[in-house]
Chains A and B, each alone.
Chain A
Amino acid sequence: MVETSLGSVRQPPAPPALTAPRHRRTGPRSLRTGALLLLAAAAAPVLARTWDTGGLRAWRTLLVAVVVQGLPFLLLGTVVSAAIGAFVPARAFARLLPRNPALAVPVAGVAGAVLPGCECASVPVAGSLMRRGVAPAAALAFLLAAPAVNPVVLVSTAIAFPDAPEMVLARLAASLGTALAMGWLWIAFGRPDWLRLPPGPAEHGAGRHPLDEFRRGLQHDFLHAGGFLVLGAAAAATFNVLVPPSLLRAFSDSPWLGVPALAVLAVVLAVCSEADAFVAASLTGFSPTARLVFLVVGPMVDLKLIALQSGSFGRAFAARFSSATFVVAVLAGVLTGGILL
């Protein structure tokens, strides 16, 4: 019943969104989404014919797995974000944090490190923090630190590397360093117009009941971020299925090629920060520094996160911020690895 009624509902909205863009921002975005869907629809039969069915089956399982894994955390993040939007007074956070953004960055970074959070949850929360007057630099430090260093992640790293407890310290130092460096870099070089914060629907509802605002904000934010989660999951599943793992072996022997190889792997695999230490532990043949880089890059830059960030903050931001974070994270990993490992 649900499916059929949705099936009949699904058809009508698509054409208007494609052909009658009501706004210059809506138009291209819907067009792009439509084009992506068309591309996927066109590619699917080709894939089905040329590709081993096992690969396509694994692709579906991986897509569903990444989405199912991310949804509860994304929902939690959007609940928190919608609650902030509906119930927290506009300047409350700004009063809690140091007025000077350069000082607010470490405070927010450490707050992110203490709170257990997953990358799917931290993106919408960081967005709502910015809407509520938190300096973008501080919110971005929180965004990076929350999934990368928190008690759960550090414990799983210790379990995955039973013979190398220094890995835990190295991960903490390099990840926190990257988060703070990115916050400060944003203060130094960031431009406000790169950030495009879509005002949540809650922003419009002046005078509406807070609960109704909360419900609307939640529905809107969740659907929006959820769509981008699927996009990121599909990209990660595609890489997982298409890129031969033996490609990695070519890089594992050289200490200098191993670092960029694992950094790129962290981006395309999009593994949760709770589990990436176990993946790193299985990458035998790579230097400890290369594995550390994998652990530092993964929770901060991966396909799922880039998709979520471009949904929440705009593509211009996601492209600049993710590439800068990637470079800083690799440098921090190499530097920390050189000292500690």
Chain B
Amino acid sequence: MTAAALTRLRRLAPPLLLVLLGTALLRITVGSDVYLRYVKEELRLPLVASGVILLGLGVAGAATRLAPHGGGHRDHDHGHDHGHAHGHGPGVAWLLALPAVLLLCLTPPALGSFTASRADTDAAVDPGAYPTSPLADLPTPLPLSLGEFIARSRDPRHTLAGHPVRLTGFVTPGTAPGEWYLNRLVAHCCAADARRLRVLVHADGPTPATDSWVELTGVWHPTPAAPATTPPRLDATARHPAPHPRTPYRDTPPPPA
């Protein structure tokens, strides 16, 4: 490869990096829900816009640099070797290739048991954010989000007592046999701020595989002596494998049966 061709390739590299990044952003947002593994739903439009802008910027940059005399890279060649290297962009920019390639080739999964098992505290559950009305007139088993189940379990009126409920989440191992946890991760902005919600499950039979999503039917088991921060206990009577939810970091109740 001649030196001239090399220089030319070097000049093309920054626009191509923009194209790569723009393609990656579009791949996880257009016709795909992959972006929900990383950020909140509201960010879809900004991400699509960013992808389009980056793609356009990269293509425009490449076109300018490929044009034989246009775009002014010629006047860029002389007298511009001072300062940091404008010709081929700042070196640190190459780090951007890492998330772009990760998104295009590996698409990391949503956070799961590793994060849920490591967390030392649970997400704060605001009892005021959930209904507290009696459940007696509602269908059984009643689909509940983990947050509502936890909030109701702490309600002094014991609205959960004896009422079968359905919960979904992913599995992490417990400390005693026949005992494991049903978890949800809740994030408000991106996966980095994910907090854990969890319910202690007592069930017969083997513990489901860690990280698998299950739907449980069961009844709340009061543990009056436990401190308020311990997860509530569910005595499960039935369980089914459940599909991965579309929005992994939103604590939604299971769909009606």
Q: Which A residues are within 8 Å of any B CB, using their own CB?
A: 2-3, 5-6, 8-10, 12-14, 16-17, 22-23, 25-26, 29-30, 33-34, 37, 52, 54-55, 57-58, 60-69, 71-73, 75-76, 79, 156, 160, 162-163, 198-199, 201, 204-205, 208, 212, 215, 218-220, 222-224, 226-228, 230-231, 233-234, 236-237, 240-241, 244-246, 248-249, 269-272, 274-276, 278-279, 281-285, 311
Question: Is the contact region of chain A dominated by helix, strand, or loop, or is it mixed?
Answer: helix
Q: Considering only CB atoms, which chain A residue lies closest to B98 in the complex?
A: A230
The interface bits of chain B over 58-79 (1 if a CB of A lies within 8 angstroms of the residue's CB, else 0) are 0011001000000110000000
Would you call B20 an interface residue if the criterion is a C-beta within 8 Å of the partner chain's C-beta atoms? yes
CB distance A278 to B92 under 8 Å? no
CB distance B193 to A271 under 8 Å? yes
Q: Within residues 197 to 241 of chain B, which ones have a CB less than 8 A from any CB in chain A?
A: 229
B61, B83, B97: which contacts A10 (Cβ < 8 A)? B97
Within 8 Å CB of A61, what residues of B?
37-38, 108-111, 191
Segment among B9-17, B153-161, B162-170, B176-184 that sits at the interface with chain A: B9-17
CB distance B86 to A58 under 8 Å? no
CB distance B192 to A29 under 8 Å? no
Within 8 Å CB of B81, what residues of A?
22-23
CB distance B193 to A34 under 8 Å? no
CB distance A227 to B93 under 8 Å? yes
CB distance A284 to B124 under 8 Å? yes
CB distance A65 to B191 under 8 Å? yes
The docked-state distance in angstroms from the alpha carbon of A226 to that of B13 is 15
The docked-state distance in angstroms from the alpha carbon of A4 to that of B226 is 58
The docked-state distance in angstroms from the alpha carbon of A223 to that of B96 is 8
Q: Which B residues are within 8 Å of any A CB, using their own CB?
A: 1, 6, 9-10, 12-21, 23, 25, 28, 35, 37-39, 43, 46-47, 49-50, 53-54, 57, 60-61, 64, 71-72, 80-86, 88-99, 101-106, 108-115, 118-124, 126, 128-129, 186-193, 195, 229
* Known contacts A54-B113, A66-B190, A227-B90; A282/B23 CB under 8 A: no
The docked-state distance in angstroms from the alpha carbon of A244 to that of B115 is 11
Within 8 Å CB of B15, what residues of A?
219
A286, chain B: closest CB distance, angstroms: 9
Q: Considering only CB atoms, which chain A residue lies closest to B60 in the complex?
A: A215
B177, chain A: closest CB distance, angstroms: 22
A17, chain B: closest CB distance, angstroms: 5
Q: Considering only CB atoms, which chain B residue lies closest to A18 in the complex?
A: B91
